[in-house]
Amino acid sequence: RQVAPVSPIAVDTTCGYCGVGCALTVHVADGGVDQITPDRRGPVNRGHACVKGRFAYGFATSPDRLTTPLIRDGDRLAPASWEDALALIGERIGGVIGRHGPDAVAAISSARATNEENYLMQKLMRAVVGTNNVDNCSRICHAPSAAGLTAAFGLAGGTNPAEDIERAGCLLVAGANPTEAHPVIGARIRQRALSGAKLVVIDPRRTELAALADVHLAARPGSNVAVFNGLARIMLEQGWTDPGFLADRADGLDILREQLRRFSPERVAQLSGVAPPALREAARLYGTAQTPMIIYGLGVTEHAHGTDGVRTLANLAILRGAVGTQHGGGVNPLRGQNNVQGASDMGALPDLLPGYRPVADAQARARCAQVWGCPVPDRAGLRIPEMFDAALDGRLRALYVFGENIAQTDPDSGHVRAALAACEFVVCQEIFLTDTARLADVVLPGASFLEKDGTFVNFDRRFQRVRPALPTPGSARADFAIIQAVAAALGGDLGCATPAAALDECARVAPLFAGVSHARLDREGPLHWPCRSTDDPGQPRLHLRSFATPNGRAQLAAREWLPPGEQPDEAYPYVLITGRRLTHYNAGTMTRRTPNLALQPHETLDMHPADAAALGLRDGAAVEITSRRGSVTATARLTSEMALGQVFMAFHFPDVAANLLTSAAVDEVTSCPEYKVTAVQLRPR
């Protein structure tokens, strides 16, 4: 049981919602949160916070919190002791390993949890179970960023800090609606645009930033690669590039130039719906601005060709010489969840050890083996979508789901639920009885971010401290302690007596983080990785002297446009885009248990008024949305933010399960699902 801090009045911590990483102060009174205030010292938020981080904390003391382990008893989950729950896990997972081998077990780690907990989870799977079957939800959001940025620049992180927004002469925002999904960064972008920077927005929806932009390219969903290639071609034709940078620091220009011959503005217009004059103006604004900066989101990555999207977007920064310089700029993914960057940094990935060292690299394995005192498996494990397929064909028998509501958030929910049902044994570690927890054999009650001790890494690679302000409720435990107890139940010992010790151990196996420790973060404040020694101040801007690719040069990528996995047709004539809204967060498990519910009590289907009129739908009417995989009913919201033929909904409400509709198409490189293009039909209810 986690011990409450002694007489806390105000606890400095980091927001547990989105990847911006706002510094917050939690004011505690009478055993609960009195209020949360944004910390003026926070380097990213500088005294600001949004409606989630500032006000949506009531979930932590909700009567719905899980306060005791649960064990399946027929159709119901019955309260149980920790001893019984852990003994059952040891027996059942141990039995699966004994009968089918360690690769019949897999874990989905948590982007909501701390670095230290993610480090322990991947160590549990590799060192105790003996498999690389561990993944995290970056698989379903920013895996194409990791793959694309690594291929282009050599490291899997965004290249520049948030501070560079204020230095940018042009901001190119692609596939992101930060006003709603990353509000504090959205506000910084808006402020910068209002104070003189040019703003180019590439997004099918007319978002708040799109309405403010100098140029809005309303590209059809699935057409990013064509648009980015079109911009690159115009920049090359017009000489809006940096020849010195290209000669000294980049490879691949000739092959790219040849590829771009196929991307005339007229062809791009056919593929994307973007008019040639707008494309030319966007290229001019980005290509001629001082220090142009690219910021992008899941509208670039969550596609069947998401990694190609990241590569062709990175091409623009390389052509312009706007990456790897002290001046700013760069290519910067807006990470979704609070610690999705850190979960991957810590090696909760099937092919990468802590610090992005491949499991196939004998030296990297040897280093972990030396520190952990056991061999490390060398074969890459299963990615999350592969886990579901493996469960259905019998290769995977036991699944440990930590802090992810996969039955609601992963695509094609029917397939996910069938996979969970097919497993012999499912463990779910959660704070509420989510749709996923309801399907588990054992449920372990964990801690909310307000009860955690450790660190998160935000979207611009900043390690920041997370400190406990509340005790865990009932007999719920710190997740760090739970993972250690599961290891013990399986006959293992993860060491690392405290979260600080776990980060210290991670620093010994991952050179990228060798200089990071709790003591240093407490003393000096946030640190950017890479931070390779205790006197390394960290690197807010990457690749200043050379890129981290094998030859030290940035890599341009020549990519053809390929169609999305699913296109609208006569039977399913509309394109559904899914995403987030301002007041809620992901599965809504937390925000629906706060006053934010009153701000948006139910899900809507956003659609153009003309589409609604053609279907005889009024604002507020019930509309049935059907894809090839299922149907849900939502309330129509008529808005000219949407283009004709396109509709939008979020996945915050389980009763309007958007992911019953989404397709199983995935990025060909990373298996990231195509959440942004689903062909649907609409019908008034």
Binding site for ligand SF4 (CB under 6 A): 15, 17-18, 20-22, 45, 49-50, 52-53, 182-184
Least distance in Å: CB of 140 to ligand SF4?
Answer: 19
Least distance in Å: CB of 121 to ligand SF4?
Answer: 23
Least distance in Å: CB of 585 to ligand SF4?
Answer: 7
Least distance in Å: CB of 178 to ligand SF4?
Answer: 9
Distance CA(624)–CA(198), nearest Å, equals 40
Least distance in Å: CB of 302 to ligand SF4?
Answer: 19
Distances (CA, A) of 534 to 269, 457, 508, 527, 538: 52, 18, 12, 11, 10
Which helix H or strand E contains 84, and what residues bound it?
helix 82-100
Nearest to ligand SF4 of 37, 631 (CB atom): 37
Instruction: Compute the residue count for the chain.
Output: 685
462 with 344: CB under 8 angstroms?
Answer: no
408 with 422: CB under 8 angstroms?
Answer: no
All residues at 6 or more sequence positions from 237 whose CB lies less than 8 Å from its CB, including other chains:
none
| Residue burial 104-124, b: 16+ Cβ < 10 Å; e: rest | bbbbbbbbbbbbbbbbbbbbb
Tokens standing for 543? 């690749």
Nearest to ligand SF4 of 18, 679 (CB atom): 18
Nearest to ligand SF4 of 22, 146 (CB atom): 22
294 with 316: CB under 8 angstroms?
Answer: yes
Least distance in Å: CB of 16 to ligand SF4?
Answer: 8
Nearest to ligand SF4 of 50, 171 (CB atom): 50
Nearest to ligand SF4 of 16, 355 (CB atom): 16
Q: How far does Cα 650 stand from its chain's mean position?
A: 15
Nearest to ligand SF4 of 17, 480 (CB atom): 17
Residue 567: closest CA among 219, 222, 204, 226:
222
Nearest to ligand SF4 of 162, 482 (CB atom): 162
Nearest to ligand SF4 of 182, 303 (CB atom): 182
Which strands form 215-217's sheet, in the order they lie side by side?
215-217, 198-202, 170-174, 292-296, 331-333
Question: Minimal CB distance to ligand SF4: which residue?
Answer: 53
All residues at 6 or more sequence positions from 351 whose CB lies less than 8 Å from its CB, including other chains:
132, 358, 359, 360, 380, 381
Least distance in Å: CB of 634 to ligand SF4?
Answer: 24
Nearest to ligand SF4 of 291, 591 (CB atom): 591
649 with 633: CB under 8 angstroms?
Answer: no
Tokens standing for 618? 């009024």
Tokens standing for 195? 């104070």
Q: What is the DSSP string of 526-567?
A: -EESP--STT----SS--SSS-SSTTSSEE---------S--
Least distance in Å: CB of 20 to ligand SF4?
Answer: 4
Least distance in Å: CB of 209 to ligand SF4?
Answer: 15
